[in-house]
A and B are shown apart, each in its own frame.
Chain A
Amino acid sequence: MARHINRKNVSSEKMEKGTFKTSMKKLLLYCRKYWGWLIFALALGIVGVITQIIGPNKIMDLTNVISDGLIYHAGNIDIAEVTKICVLLVCLYIVGALFNYFQNYITTIVTQKVGRNLRRDISKKINKLPLNYFDSHLHGDVLSRVTNDVDTVTQSLSESVGSLFSSGLLFVGVLIMMFITEPLMALTVIGATILGFALSLIFLTKSQKYFNKVQEQMGELNAHIEETYSGHNVVRLFNAEENRKEEFTKINKQLHKYGWRSRFLSGVMGPVMGFVGNFGYVAVCIVGALLARKHGISYFGVITAFMIYVRLFSRPLSSIAQSLTSLQSASAASKRVFEFLEGEEQASEEGKLSAPAKIEGNIDFENVRFGYKPEKIIIKDFSCKVNAGQKIAIVGPTGAGKTTLVNLLMKFYETNSGDIKIDGISIGDMKREAVHSLFGMVLQDTWLFEGTIMENLKYNNKDVSDKRVYQVCKAVGIDHFIQTLSKGYNTIVDDTINLSAGQKQLLTIARTMIADRPMVILDEATSSVDTRTEILLQQAMDKAMEGRTSFVIAHRLSTIKNADTILVLKDGDIVEKGKHEDLLAKGGAYAELYNSQFEEE
């Protein structure tokens, strides 16, 4: 674990430079579909900004009318003119607000849809990655990407995209107005702003690093708590709370450290921008005053105008700054999302064969060699011919490679060399789905999902009739139990119903039997089922598997006595092969294994 983290840190250090740009570019490209809408929103924003720039001008006219009345007409204010301007302003405001709303509306829709697409793509990606990806990556980390990271992306985007648009437009609009009014003063404002901006840039680049770290530590925290929460029993009973807490605190402290730094640095952006505004204001006052000495009293109007402009100019700047900090966390989070989405997928299988319509069930293992890692070979040179309809038992000590063999047969992993053929067709030439569709598989680790028992049993086979489900459940001896549940087959399987490991196994066996595939693999399928139930189950399964090639891995040798061929595996090689009686008579490894069941001390 520790090593794993270190490696991650090193690579993230290297990647920091340019991360923001690349992730933003990726995100932008990802949103390609919505560019049209975004441009439309931009157009709406332009109208909104125009009303915002015209507004102050009209207000100026209004005060002029009032002061004119006071000064030149002895307090007789031209009410008609006032009303005209006011009505115009009201219209302007309403139009502005409407456009503003629609702009927000569109950006909300776009960001939420982008979020939805990201989540969808991650979920799809999970099913496209090779299995060994999950051997080396933590579940909690992947989960954190689906929820925390995507959440951060959408939340930050919705906060920033809209205001980035309108602020940018306002910024440009004010810039134009300033140059029209007085170029020299405009330059003063810009100069002051650039100075302030340079200051904020320092904070901006610094905080990006911490944002990445925060997101990383978050993934780490998630992984840790998933482990602790799900292994809670063991943690408690071994008085390991303190130990675990220590580890947790370490991550928590890191998270705290980077969390507050990133938040502080990004929080400082607001005040810095406020300062840019104030600084510009002061510059306008000083430079304006000095210029007024030359140009005389008529220059006052320009000064007052610029006092408003400097505020109008710095306000969008600080919202832009705020949006940029939001975008920073969006970029940090999206980096993690894209990292996952860009993970190398299983090799494409276009053009490979689909499942043959009729399957005999002859299987050939030809000099199969495999290791999960190239430097650690588990199966060295495995060859074996299985005839259609045979029941093959694979036995041997734990770690002999029994499950690995099955993983290869299912094409979960690809062999390093050698070949596996089904009815003479290499599984390398078949699509993965095709191989999967040939086998019904029951694993030692039972897996049920939250849904009704019926849904769990039918799983992916929607057109199976309920009647068939009842039939199978009766055959495997779980029907009675299901009936006793409060809602029978419609009981929801979740953490609150107490299913024993054995009951779970029965359910998964039933699920596989319902799926009704031409061949069957049972990997320790009945290890938690009590033996009386098992005998009944055995009969039911034998009947169901009649004429089908089947592979059975079992520790309880009683289960496999009647197998056509028993393969005794040791360190990935077949050490013995034959029928129960023959092997027993031979007095070799199998006999030893078998007799150990009954040996007295």
Chain B
Amino acid sequence: MLKLLRYLRKKDYMFMIVSIVFIVVQVYLELTLPDYTAKIIQELYKIGSGVKPSVSVILKNGGIMLAMAFGSLGAAILVGFFVTMISAGLSFTLRGKIYDKIQGFSLHEINRFSTASLMTRTTNDIRQVAMVVSMGASALIKAPIMAIYAVIKIVNKGWQWSLSTGIVLAILSISIITIMAVVIPKFKKMQTLIDKLNRVTRENLTGIRVVRASNAEDFQEEKFKETNTDLTKTNLFIGKMLALFDPVMTILLSGLSLSIYWIGAYIVKDAVSFSNMTVFVSYAMQVVMSFIMLIVIFMLLPRALVSAKRINEVLDTENKIVPGNYVDEFDGTASVVFENVSFKYPDAEEYVLHDISFTANEGETIAFIGSTGSGKSTLINLIPRLYDATEGRVLIDGVDVKDYSLETLNKKIGYVPQRGVLFSGSVKDNVNFGDNNASEEEIKSAISTAQASSFVSRMPDGIDSIISQGGTNVSGGQRQRLSIARAIARKPEIFIFDDSFSALDYKTDKKLRSALKKDTAKVTKFIVAQRIGTIKEADKIIVLEAGNMVGIGTHEELLKNCPVYREIALSQLSKEEL
């Protein structure tokens, strides 16, 4: 929790100091208000001696009291203002920080946390922390000031009373600590359950067609119900424990004043000690009340602590991809060399790729083929550093990809993922994405190279048509072509197509490839594909089998000397067609 406070801005510390000043003012005004009551009462005492109390004295003191009440309101409002500035500022900063951090994550880290959990951490968890800060900040400052002020007033007024106050405070602390010790682990559980609930719902939403097609609505609901019941049970447990707070506190508070009077009955001997007793009660209440103020925060604290921990987990995650700082000129083409590259996923035992070496010269098309799970995608993911090679090196224009600044590296690469990813926004925004800086003409030409012109022009507003979140209002093939257009608009030195053509029909696939060849001849291309047709014309085809390179060469060469390749080819085309 405290760790998160380092994200407070300088301004916030200023706000805090100002708040403290105003809190002192407020406490002073509130605690001296009764002094003026005393003055009024003294004036009224004159009745006893037959003098009519003066209206002007009553009104004057009354006026001062009124002014003090207004003053204390003003001070409190200002404190509220600054404190909310601090807490709202903190959640603003935290959201930004966590978002930045996650953007810098590699695939591995995203998968480790899971998208759903990262989402809860960015929203729900931060909200919890901010709530405690906004409620806590003023109470944390106010409580000690009140307590100190009150203690000064009651010290030396009778040890028996002080002792009983001490005992009440001790009982209060012990009961609170006990309740907390039981509740805190449950809070942790609760947060995980919220994650789970989020996930189950998300699954239902993303798989809604499958769910309906399988008539599995009840099945999904059953699953949701399970998590929901777990969550409710945990919440109930926490709620029942926290329900203890109020009665425990009331009984201790009332008990304290009662015990002071009860003890008073034995030790009060004269008028002075009698007035001491009345004063002691009111100020002891102040001490306990400020204590309770702190406790209220402690009630909110456990959930916030768990949230803070979850936020810190993200913020403290060491980014596995350490960017280099090499920057070079952009010449529109690049060579890529794999030098004895092996790869395994972090924490995994088995290698996914074994000792891969090959060279892609400038402007060449390199294709990868192999069975599902042979490591094709993993291999090309090493070029843009979605993962880093475990052993060996990947070089672009003779420089290790790890040495490039990420911005330079990304600029060189036009990447098309396996599943077309689009963002809410217009078609134009999606093609002219990120640091692409294409003119309207270039956007249109990229769309046309990607064979997307016809359907884009049929959309209601052409390239200004709106794509909904996740691109659900365009078909899979259209999504894929737009994500290809996005890569083309970038004018990269290297294209990476991670099985990007399989969502397209042959005709479109074919047209797209010839258009690419024509429009982007200089660009070095890496293509992962399933269809022989897609890769037949590649300069080099690399055949992968269980993470090993079992063949490299052109279509004709491989047909002759690579049995795996021949098998794949035969599975797709008849002998004559080969």
B-contact bits for A252-281, CB 8 A (1 contact / 0 none): 110110011001100110111011001101
Contact A93:B77 (CB < 8 A) given known A228-B103, A263-B88, A503-B372: no
Contact A450:B203 (CB < 8 A) given known A229-B110, A436-B213: yes
A237 and B530 form a contact (CB under 8 A) = no
A529 and B415 form a contact (CB under 8 A) = no
Name the residue on B nearest A290 (C-beta): B58
Return the contact of A146 from the options B198, B261, B504 (Cβ within 8 A): B198
Interface residue? A249 (CB, 8 A): yes
A403 CB, nearest partner CB in chain B, Å: 6
Name the residue on A nearest B113 (C-beta): A495
Name the residue on B nearest A287 (C-beta): B62
A225 and B371 form a contact (CB under 8 A) = no
Residues of A within 8 A of B261 (CB): 59, 62-63, 66, 82, 86
A82 to B259, CA, bound (A): 11
Contact A97:B251 (CB < 8 A) given known A144-B123, A601-B514: yes
B562 CB, nearest partner CB in chain A, Å: 13
Return the contact of A237 from the options B127, B257, B413 (Cβ within 8 A): B413
Contact A397:B507 (CB < 8 A) given known A93-B255, A123-B201, A138-B469: yes
Return the contact of A531 from the options B81, B232, B434, B568 (Cβ within 8 A): B568
B124 and A235 form a contact (CB under 8 A) = no
A142 to B232, CA, bound (A): 20
B490 and A601 form a contact (CB under 8 A) = no
Chain B residues numbered 102-125 whose CB sits less than 8 Å from any CB in chain A: 102-105, 107, 110-112, 114-116, 118-120, 122-124
Contact A147:B434 (CB < 8 A) given known A94-B251, A222-B123, A264-B84: no
Interface residue? B329 (CB, 8 A): no
Return the contact of A530 from the options B47, B87, B371 (Cβ within 8 A): B371
B244 CB, nearest partner CB in chain A, Å: 7
Main secondary structure of the interface of A (DSSP, over half): helix
B-contact bits for A471-505, CB 8 A (1 contact / 0 none): 00000000001000000000000111010111100
Residues of B within 8 A of A271 (CB): 72-73, 76-77, 79-80
Chain A residues numbered 69-115 whose CB sits less than 8 Å from any CB in chain B: 70, 75, 77, 79, 82, 86, 89-90, 93-94, 96-98, 100-101, 104-105, 108-109, 111-113, 115
Return the contact of A232 from the options B107, B122, B537 (Cβ within 8 A): B107
Interface residue? B206 (CB, 8 A): yes
Return the contact of B72 from the options A104, A113, A274, A500 (Cβ within 8 A): A274
Interface residue? B225 (CB, 8 A): yes
A279 and B69 form a contact (CB under 8 A) = yes
Return the contact of A115 from the options B37, B232, B277 (Cβ within 8 A): B232
Chain B residues numbered 340-374 whose CB sits less than 8 Å from any CB in chain A: 345, 352, 369-373
Interface residue? A468 (CB, 8 A): no
A97 and B69 form a contact (CB under 8 A) = no
B58 and A286 form a contact (CB under 8 A) = yes
Residue in B69, B194, B218, B531 with the greatest tally of chain A CB atoms within 10 Å: B69
B-contact bits for A427-470, CB 8 A (1 contact / 0 none): 00000110011010101110101100000000110000000000
Return the contact of A112 from the options B115, B210, B232 (Cβ within 8 A): B232
B119 and A1 form a contact (CB under 8 A) = no
B455 and A531 form a contact (CB under 8 A) = no
Residues of A within 8 A of B499 (CB): 501, 528
A535 and B47 form a contact (CB under 8 A) = no
A229 and B102 form a contact (CB under 8 A) = yes
Interface residue? A177 (CB, 8 A): no
A-contact bits for B187-226, CB 8 A (1 contact / 0 none): 0000000100111111111111111111111111100110
Contact A527:B503 (CB < 8 A) given known A86-B258, A221-B123, A532-B568: yes
Contact A264:B81 (CB < 8 A) given known A286-B58, A592-B507: yes
Residues of A within 8 A of B258 (CB): 59, 86, 89-90, 93
Residues of B within 8 A of A66 (CB): 261, 264-265, 268, 274, 277
Residues of B within 8 A of A600 (CB): 537
Interface residue? B516 (CB, 8 A): no
Return the contact of A264 from the options B48, B80, B100, B208 (Cβ within 8 A): B80
Binds A, one of B148-156, B158-166, B170-178, B474-482: B474-482
B52 and A75 form a contact (CB under 8 A) = no
Residues of B within 8 A of A444 (CB): 476, 503
A455 CB, nearest partner CB in chain B, Å: 10
Size of chain B's interface in residues, with CB distance under 8 A? 190
A65 to B265, CA, bound (A): 9
A292 to B41, CA, bound (A): 10
Interface residue? B167 (CB, 8 A): no
Name the residue on A nearest B418 (C-beta): A501
Residues of B within 8 A of A300 (CB): 41, 44
Residues of B within 8 A of A101 (CB): 243-244, 246-247
Interface residue? B335 (CB, 8 A): no
Interface residue? B279 (CB, 8 A): no
Residues of A within 8 A of B89 (CB): 256, 260
Name the residue on A nearest B253 (C-beta): A93
A296 to B44, CA, bound (A): 9
B209 and A275 form a contact (CB under 8 A) = no
A500 and B73 form a contact (CB under 8 A) = no
A108 to B183, CA, bound (A): 15
B99 and A398 form a contact (CB under 8 A) = no
Contact A233:B417 (CB < 8 A) given known A1-B425, A66-B264: yes
A535 CB, nearest partner CB in chain B, Å: 5
Residue in B65, B213, B257, B415 with the greatest tally of chain A CB atoms within 10 Å: B213
A598 to B507, CA, bound (A): 10
Interface residue? A9 (CB, 8 A): no
A432 to B373, CA, bound (A): 37
A98 to B232, CA, bound (A): 24
Name the residue on B nearest A65 (C-beta): B265
Chain B residues numbered 228-252 whose CB sits less than 8 Å from any CB in chain A: 228-229, 231-232, 235-236, 239-240, 242-244, 246-248, 250-251
Interface residue? B185 (CB, 8 A): no
Residues of B within 8 A of A259 (CB): 88, 91-92, 130
Interface residue? A348 (CB, 8 A): no
B421 and A233 form a contact (CB under 8 A) = yes
Residues of B within 8 A of A62 (CB): 261, 265
Binds A, one of B4-12, B392-400, B569-577: B569-577
A164 to B340, CA, bound (A): 71
Residue in B83, B85, B215, B268 with the greatest tally of chain A CB atoms within 10 Å: B215
Return the contact of A119 from the options B228, B266, B434 (Cβ within 8 A): B228
A428 CB, nearest partner CB in chain B, Å: 17
B302 CB, nearest partner CB in chain A, Å: 14
- Given A1-B424, A94-B251, A119-B228, 6 new contacts (CB under 8 A): A82-B262, A112-B239, A139-B205, A252-B92, A449-B207, A481-B373
19 A-B pairs with C-beta separation under 8 A: A1-B468, A65-B265, A120-B225, A123-B204, A127-B220, A143-B202, A225-B99, A235-B434, A260-B87, A282-B65, A286-B59, A289-B43, A289-B53, A372-B473, A412-B212, A445-B419, A501-B499, A528-B502, A531-B530
* Ranked 7 nearest A-B pairs via Cβ: A240-B434, A502-B372, A238-B434, A271-B76, A398-B477, A260-B88, A104-B243
